[in-house]
A and B are shown apart, each in its own frame.
Chain A
Amino acid sequence: MAGGIVIVLLILIAIFAPLIVSWFGHPPAEWHRDKIDPAIQAPIGAFGGISWDYLFGVEPTTGRDLFSRILYGARISLLIAFFATLLCVVLGTVLGMIAGFFGGWIDTVISRAMDIFLAFPLLVFALALAGVIPDKAFGMSGDTLRISLLVFIIGFFNWPYIGRIIRGQTLSLREREFVDASRSLGARNHVILFKEILPNLIAPILVYSTLLIPSNILFEAALSFLGVGVRPPTPTWGGMLAEAVHNYDVAPNFMLFPGLAIFITVLAFNLLGDGLRDAFDPKAR
């Protein structure tokens, strides 16, 4: 329950980031060199220059408002994580169910495909893809293109994790007698898959989705760090963390707040996953 409230708050914050920033902060890309000590390039003031004006302090070197960058970073992180996870779940559930239910050569083909995807050097591929894809492609450009690209890369290469779990669950579910019962009533395969088996998969799907979202947030951060993520000056939590690594001694706030944001988000999703699992389990009612 607490997790759900935090998630809702996070989503609201992400949606209304411009509004909140206009009240409590400064635009995320606005430089404030007057807040930076030119000698050591560190923020002036205690703990990275935290004040009523700059709630989370400022960034070293540029003096950008960290509070507004965290808020805007939530938009990118959540957006990519949600859609990448959605892609993972859709691909993983459909292919996992088909593999587990039909078995035989269909299972062999899908399972080997999963092995190939899991063995794929994803980071190298992402780096290569980022180099190949120009600034304008598929009728998109700039951040939109980058975000779509990240969603595709993360979603398309992480589906086997959930796919394997769904395949295993389907393998055990299809041997249950209610599947035979449905078949003996004359149900077609797709009816059995979606009406009998899928409802029993909702719990694992939800639990693993909520585990995938934070891991996808981290993945997006890693890709941003390597320069294939969303490009600066658009703020992302992962990108900020990566930059903060160089300045943590003079500006601990620069590392603390993005880290805290990721931590709270991950924790909240895990709590939400547990809560949803209980809510969807008819035995827990």
Chain B
Amino acid sequence: MTEPQTQPATQTATRTARQGEPLLSVRDMEKHFPVTQGLFKRQVGAVKAVDGISFDVYKGETLGLVGESGCGKSTTGRLVTRLLEPTGGQVMFEGRDITHMSQGRLRPLRRDMQMIFQDPYSSLNPRHTVGAIVGAPFRIQGVQTDNGVKKAVQDLLELVGLNPEHYNRYPHEFSGGQRQRIGIARTLALKPKLIIADEPVSALDVSIQAQVVNLLEDLQNELDLTYVVIAHDLSVVRHISDRVAVMYLGKIVEIADRKSLYATPMHPYTNALLSAVPVPDPRGRAGRERIRLTGDVPSPLNPPPACRFHTRCWKAQEICKKVEPPLAELAGGHRVACHFPENAPGSPDTPAAGKDEPVTA
């Protein structure tokens, strides 16, 4: 089990100073999807998509959530926005427990917590005009606007860099990047405090990715937004995040400030991930060592006991199969769940395969 997080990390260079209470606070959150079989839908197991994770998000910061496919990142996003209901643990938003809150009572809170979706082709209703899509939040939440919904929508379109005259167009008339901007405009309509961005750029062209990431950053500065950015692209996360959490098989294995995580990654999995980031400079490639993980990610139906990474970890020892490492704070604001962390200050490394060199991306 992860240790309850008692002391929020303080040594960080967030854009806005952290003040008191976290905006979003997640404790031991779990989501187990039941697997049923046979005529009587007997439950034969559960997919442990998210299996006890805890983190805090403070006002004004950006938390990056990375991990490979199927590690539970998107499920985490959907649990936090309560598109799914957690099967365990607690989700607190602005000090209110929303873990099992009914959709009806959640409705007013949704103004403050919005989501950007991954696929700009599927997240916009093809039968609605841009005006209807971006105006939907006002309609659904019954929000009165000063100069009418149309004016508000056009202001939003301008804010995200689209032509306000495209109000009456349909989504299919736009490119992927423009469509994602429409999605962002919709997200911003109600002036939310927290935005969960579920792979906001992974469906986009690389050249467009930078535009959208920069747009998200500009909007954050302009509107004082707080982000949780879910991504599998470490470069994007590095660019946009203040803090980064690394997930593996439904657990957070490492959470730290961006600088600390990228400079001194402690968990072997984080090291492996960072070593896999492509280096665009051929000369830089020679000197670096790639850590190749063998085998597949184990099934979340039946995850390995204790440390979940031990089946693929080159440093794994007997203890890793028996005792689950707690998510412990090894450096200021840098917490890692590993018995044999790399780059750990003060604790001697016990490498098994001699790959203890810090790998820089």
Q: Give the B-binding residues of A (Cβ under 8 A).
A: 176-178, 180-188, 191, 196, 199-200, 202, 282-283, 285
A162 to B135, CA, bound (A): 32
Q: Report yes or no: B110 in contact with A181, Cβ–Cβ below 8 A.
A: no
Q: Report yes or no: B126 in contact with A200, Cβ–Cβ below 8 A.
A: yes
- Chain B interface residue count, Cβ-Cβ cutoff 8 angstroms: 30
Chain A residues near B140: list those with CB within 8 A: 182, 185-187, 191
Q: Report yes or no: B123 in contact with A177, Cβ–Cβ below 8 A.
A: yes
Q: Which residue of B lies closest to A198 (CB)?
A: B127
Residue in B83, B127, B172 whose beta carbon sits within 8 Å of that of A184 in the complex: B83
With contact pairs A185-B110, A186-B106, A200-B126 given, residues A282 and B115 touching in the complex (Cβ less than 8 Å):
no
Q: Report yes or no: A199 in contact with B125, Cβ–Cβ below 8 A.
A: yes
With contact pairs A185-B136, A196-B125, A200-B126 given, residues A180 and B107 touching in the complex (Cβ less than 8 Å):
no
Q: Which residue of B lies closest to A176 (CB)?
A: B122
Chain B residues near A187: list those with CB within 8 A: 136, 140
Residue in A177, A182, A184 whose beta carbon sits within 8 Å of that of B114 in the complex: A184
In the complex, B117 has a CB within 8 A of chain A:
yes
In the complex, B186 has a CB within 8 A of chain A:
yes
A283 to B170, CA, bound (A): 9
Chain B residues near A177: list those with CB within 8 A: 117-119, 122-123
Give 29 CB contacts A-B under 8 Å. A176-B122, A176-B123, A177-B118, A177-B122, A178-B123, A178-B124, A180-B78, A181-B115, A181-B124, A181-B186, A182-B136, A184-B81, A184-B83, A185-B141, A185-B186, A186-B107, A186-B108, A186-B110, A186-B111, A186-B140, A186-B141, A187-B136, A187-B140, A191-B140, A199-B128, A202-B127, A283-B170, A283-B172, A285-B170
By Cβ-Cβ distance, the 4 closest A-B pairs, closest first, are A199-B127, A177-B123, A186-B110, A186-B107
A282 to B126, CA, bound (A): 8
A270 to B253, CA, bound (A): 60
Would you list which residues of chain B between 190 and 219 have a CB under 8 Å from chain A?
A: 190
Q: Report yes or no: B117 in contact with A200, Cβ–Cβ below 8 A.
A: no
Min CB distance A45 to B, Å, is 57
Q: Which residue of B lies closest to A202 (CB)?
A: B127
A156 to B202, CA, bound (A): 48
Chain B residues near A202: list those with CB within 8 A: 127
Q: Report yes or no: B119 in contact with A185, Cβ–Cβ below 8 A.
A: no
A181 to B117, CA, bound (A): 8
Chain B residues near A185: list those with CB within 8 A: 110, 114, 136-137, 140-141, 186, 190
A234 to B298, CA, bound (A): 74
Chain A residues near B108: list those with CB within 8 A: 186
In the complex, B183 has a CB within 8 A of chain A:
yes
A175 to B113, CA, bound (A): 21
Chain A residues near B78: list those with CB within 8 A: 180
